Amino acid sequence: MRRITILVFALTAILFTAGKKKEEDNRTRYFPKYELKAEQIPEKKNVWVFLLAGQSNMAGRAFIEPQDTIPNERVLTINMNNEIIIAKEPVHIYQPTLNGLGCGLSFGKTLLEFIPDSVSILLLPTAVGGSSISQWIEDSVFRNISLLSNFEEKVEIGKQYGQIKGVLWHQGERDANKNAYDKYKVRLNVLFGLFRQITCNDRLPILIGELGSFSGKDSWDRINQQIHAYALEDSLVRVISTSDLKDTGDKVHFDSESQRILGIRFANTYKKEFMH
């Protein structure tokens, strides 16, 4: 009997391992196999820099499909060594076992439609899945990343290569609880003040994506209410609607189509509100 039990346990472990490997293979099937180094980086006046900040929905957890693997030489990002490369999804680099499609490349490609042909876009990833807004404010080390210090490091890279034009922020799922959601507006004010201090730009535009309505949780609605309340007080903040977007099936993360749409909405809002 004991031998049968051991055999069943071993078979279960083998099937579980095989299932996990298949799941991982599917997740990474269309990941880029190599980096494309930027052959020539435009002069600083022709590089617009945007920081992508927040938690997992900014980092991206959706499935990458073939259409998401087509790069544009005018949309740049960095690798783990902070070298400038042509952007491909996944743009975020901090959680390789979880990363998937985000909104960054969609944002960059869409914004190209509105800017001069001489201008390139540099996307700087700083989002870390699961991070709370208070951890950002306190510069906590979360998943081996000092959140605010890492943001500051990326700002310095941005200043080296171009002009900081804005921040795309998507975060709040971690704060969607009764101990935190009523403080979210105040914490947004503190954090965005730090972002503007770090960038030395008190006129820095910041775009905030709503949490997905697909969660069905009142606590997520409360975070969205706090986001909108804050935007009424900050003339340089705009909120991106997500009420019609869909999840991957986990009630937490935007699916592939929704991430592409989110990127387009970020770009269209930036163009409408901050490009005059």
SS (H, E, C) the chain: CHHHHHHHHHHHHHHHHHHHHHHHHHHHCCCCCCCCECCCCCCHHHEEEEEEEECHHHHCCECCCHHHHCCCCCEEEECCCCCEEECCCCCCCCCCCCCCECCHHHHHHHHHCCCCCCCEEEEEECCCCCCCHHHHHCCCEECCEEHHHHHHHHHHHHHHHCEEEEEEEECCCCCCCCCCHHHHHHHHHHHHHHHHHHHCCCCCCEEEECCCHHHCCHHHHHHHHHHHHHHCCCCCEEEECCCCCCECCCCCCECHHHHHHHHHHHHHHHHHHHCC
Do 220 and 106 share a domain, yes or no? yes
Query: Average model confidence (pLDDT) for the chain?
Result: 92
Band of the pLDDT at 10, cuts 50, 70, 90? Answer: very low
Q: Is 186 left (phi over 0), alpha (psi -120 to 50) or beta?
A: alpha
Local confidence band at 16 (pLDDT 50, 70, 90 cut-offs)? very low
143 shares a domain with 92: yes
Residues 91 and 52 sit within 8 Å (Cβ to Cβ) = yes
User: What pTM was estimated for this model as a whole?
Assistant: 0.91
User: Can you give the CATH number for the domain in which 180 is found?
Assistant: 3.40.50.1110
Within this chain, do residues 60 and 193 fall inside the same structural domain, yes or no?
yes
**Mean per-residue pLDDT for 102-125?**
98
Alpha-carbon distance of 222 to 224, in angstroms, equals 5
Give the confidence band of 8 by pLDDT, cuts at 50, 70, 90: very low
pLDDT at residue 3, rounded to an integer: 60
93 and 40 housed in the same domain: yes
Same domain, 14 and 80: no
Type of residue found at 111: L
Same domain, 163 and 261: yes
Residue 100 has pLDDT above 90, yes or no: yes
Residue 13, pLDDT score: 44
User: What's the number of domains the chain is made of?
Assistant: 2
In DSSP terms, which residues pair with 167 in a beta bridge? Answer: 51, 206
For residues 160 and 24, membership in a common domain is answered with no
Answer yes or no: do 57 and 12 share one domain: no
pLDDT-above-90 percentage for the chain: 83
Beta strands 206-209 and 163-170, pairing class: parallel
Domain span including residue 24: 1-30
For range 118-126, the mean pLDDT = 98
pLDDT digits (tens, 9 = 90+) for 180-211: 999 999 999 999 999 999 999 999 999 999 99
Residues 50 and 154 in one domain: yes
On whether both 7 and 65 belong to a single domain, the answer is no
Mean local confidence (pLDDT), 240-266: 98
Do 218 and 246 sit in the same domain of this protein?
A: yes
Q: Which amino acid is at 231?
A: A
Cα Rg of the chain (Å, integer) = 20
246 and 130 in one domain? yes
